[in-house]
Structure 1
Amino acid sequence: MIEFPKLTGGKLLNRLAHPAGKVRAVLDTDTFNEIDDPFAVVYALKSPESLTVEAFYAAPFHNEHSDSPGDGMEKSYWELHKIRELLPEASGIPICRGAVSYLPGPAMPAPSEAARDLVDRAMASADDDPLYVLAIGAITNVASAIMLEPRIMEKIIVVWLGGHALHWPHTREFNMCQDLHASRLVLHCGVPLVLIPCMGVASHLQTTLSELNDHIRNKGFLGQYLYETFRGCASEHTAYSRVIWDMSAIAYLVNPAWLPSSIVHSPVLSEDFRWSFDTSRHWLRYVQYVQRNDIFKDFFAKL
């Protein structure tokens, strides 16, 4: 049985406060899965006033774009390399392979280079300089790192795009339902967690091909890459918009006013992916809305 350190109420709430200045961060991403991940990677690297990206971790995923969770991770790993070639800001930032499978059981990690790197970086962090873990895919790598070294819970803050809004009739969201064991662990163990739901919250973060044509297509190779990535996601763009979910995790560190939030008790995740509630559980920060216009305006300006 893994014993997790219990952060006192005061320390946990302190960790859940929005940082006053620039922070250190790692980005855990299933980059090949959806078009929103490259947008988030670029946004993070173009926001040096708010965060320093220390490492990228490739997260596993399995859908029509991959043959297995491990194949999805490997494709994401190489997509991160592709983005790094386009961005001078990414030069020298390590890219680590994540898990090749989801957690095999509720207390069984899936060790990987990414999980070990997270442990090493977190344990080297000073108490007054915690590491932010921006997770925009299945939470497997992060959960594995916590199980490999539970003491990192005192050194990190996890910002996770996962699940749906607490009022939603279910929470069968891709990032959350891929790895039930990992999702439950991160919600239950007491690690400082900022939860950004998808439907009902980040779902407001939509854009269109015509908007990207106006604002990023002419911004060099990088703008062209993002524009073409978006254009290729649909065969017909008439009256079509698409949500760029993952940028929300970056925007949280750029300006908290763009993501109104509150402190709530950590919800309980059922096996059939529904929320239930227990007011005896620890606190987390829950994002309730995203200011879509402010986030995209900032992103376009930074390109």
Structure 2
Amino acid sequence: MRHPYTPIDHPRVLRHLKNPRQEFNKKIIIDTDAYNSIDDQFALMHMLLSEKNRGDVSILGITAAPFYKELRNTDSYKHGMELSYQEIINVINTLAFKWNGLVKKGSVISLDETNCIPVESDAADFICEVSRSHKEDEFPIYILALGSLTNVASAILKDPHIINNLVVCTLGGVPFDFYGFKDFNYQQDINAANFVFSCGIPIVHFPTFTVTEQLRTSRWELEAHIGNSKSGKFLYNRFIEFVDEYPGSNKQIWDLAPGAWIINPDWFISKINTTKKFTFDNVWKTSPETHPLRSILWLDRDSIFKDFFTLINK
């Protein structure tokens, strides 16, 4: 599924897969299906507060990713994107400071439906425009892809040369040698996922089960540490609305992981691997169209939540 006019530059891919250097400013785009669950809201807040309080993170824009999920009463992929767009605005409106960044609407259908013809959207256009204006000798732009990969894949299909300036930090699936768990993000648009994993763009892969699922919190931890700010109360209420309460209950806040890696890669253990193909039965298979990627193997859950709670109480 690789674009026929973009031979893979393996040295460039490996160069861009190096851990982000903390002393340099990291430019990011956040692509999020924010209404799909409640972890995106935590991740968005973490990065917005990081940009405000740190000198090494710049958010170039936020793009709304589509999704379809009966649990969230969506009636279409487009409806999920629209709800996500509004939820991004809801998160921003809780901030104690004015954030003047860009928020763009994403795809209304999947590449599964278009047979890999790119989906036109403000999000895809924005990703292309930002990448084109970025100098190749600078550090890459990091896309925190927290949902399906439709927006990202569509942007690359529209302009294959943008892969030279981007790194996709994507959360979904399981480790390559793992079986037996269902995926959500990649199953939403398997054509998009497989195109991104084969097109030659540098990828940092954050598996869900066994890795980012370690990022669990509970009502009781939030009550103790999230504070009384408007932002803290918003996240707490979203958590209570979504998570069933019973002794020992908790919830994965998976989407904190990609942004946390940008902030401090020392909180993670990872290795350089090679890309694979994702199947409809949630299995990774060897593909002839491979290139290097970075696989996240482990994360320091406590350090990540400590950073999050510190920022939201400033």
TM class, shorter-length: over 0.9
Compared with structure 1, are the counterparts of its residues 241 and 190 closer, same or farther at alpha carbon in structure 2 (3 Å cutoff)? same
Q: Say whether the 8 Å CA contact 1:265–1:278 is kept in structure 2.
A: no
1:197 aligned onto 2:207: yes
- Which AA in structure 1 matches 2:110? Y
Q: Say whether the 8 Å CA contact 2:34–2:85 is kept in structure 1.
A: yes
Query: Within 2, Cα distance between the matches of 1:191 and 1:4?
Result: 13
SS at match of 1:195: strand
Map of 2:127 onto structure 1:
118
Map of 1:78 onto structure 2:
86
Compared with structure 1, are the counterparts of its residues 240 and 190 closer, same or farther at alpha carbon in structure 2 (3 Å cutoff)? same
Map of 1:33 onto structure 2:
36
Map of 2:19 onto structure 1:
18
Of 43, 51, 59, the match for 1:53:
59
Greater shift, 222-231 or 81-90, is seen at: 81-90
- Which AA in structure 1 matches 2:77? P
- Which AA in structure 2 matches 1:33? N
Compared with structure 1, are the counterparts of its residues 217 and 202 closer, same or farther at alpha carbon in structure 2 (3 Å cutoff)? same
1:118-169 superposed Cα distances (whole Å, 9 cap, x missing partner) = 0000110011132111100011000000000000000111100011122221
Of 96, 102, 115, the match for 1:94:
102
Cα displacement (A) at 1:217: 3.5
1:260 aligned onto 2:269: yes
Q: Say whether the 8 Å CA contact 2:95–2:230 is kept in structure 1.
A: no
TM-score w.r.t. the length of structure 2 is 0.92
Cα displacement (A) at 1:94: 1.0
Query: Within 2, Cα distance between the matches of 1:6 and 1:89?
Result: 44
Query: Within 2, Cα distance between the matches of 1:197 and 1:9?
Result: 23
Cα displacement (A) at 1:32: 0.7
Compared with structure 1, are the counterparts of its residues 170 and 235 closer, same or farther at alpha carbon in structure 2 (3 Å cutoff)? closer
1:18-53 superposed Cα distances (whole Å, 9 cap, x missing partner) = 122221111000001110010000001111234211
Within 5 Å, give how 1:1-303 maps onto structure 2.
Answer: 2-20=3-21, 21-48=24-51, 49=54, 50-64=56-70, 65=72, 66-88=74-96, 91-103=99-111, 104-127=113-136, 128-170=138-180, 172-218=182-228, 220-277=229-286, 281-303=290-312
Greater shift, 36-45 or 229-238, is seen at: 229-238
Greater shift, 99-108 or 84-93, is seen at: 84-93
Compared with structure 1, are the counterparts of its residues 235 and 176 closer, same or farther at alpha carbon in structure 2 (3 Å cutoff)? same
Query: Within 2, Cα distance between the matches of 1:181 and 1:291?
Result: 32
- Which AA in structure 2 matches 1:296? F
- Which AA in structure 1 matches 2:107? A
Q: Say whether the 8 Å CA contact 2:204–2:296 is kept in structure 1.
A: yes
Q: Say whether the 8 Å CA contact 2:156–2:162 is kept in structure 1.
A: yes
Which structure has more RCO (C-alpha within 8 Å, separation ≥ 6)? 2
Q: Say whether the 8 Å CA contact 1:262–1:285 is kept in structure 2.
A: yes
- Which AA in structure 1 matches 2:216? Q
Runs of 5+ consecutive residues of structure 2 not aligned to the other structure? none
Q: Say whether the 8 Å CA contact 1:171–1:274 is kept in structure 2.
A: no
Question: CA RMSD, aligned part only?
Answer: 1.7
Cα displacement (A) at 1:88: 4.7
Identical positions, percent: 32
Query: Within 2, Cα distance between the matches of 1:262 and 1:291?
Result: 16
Cα displacement (A) at 1:67: 1.1
Structure 1 segments (4+ residues) deviating >6 Å: none
- Which AA in structure 1 matches 2:62? F
- Which AA in structure 2 matches 1:76? S
Q: Say whether the 8 Å CA contact 1:58–1:76 is kept in structure 2.
A: yes
- Which AA in structure 2 matches 1:287? I
1:169-196 superposed Cα distances (whole Å, 9 cap, x missing partner) = 1563100111010010011111011000
Residues paired across the two proteins, number: 302
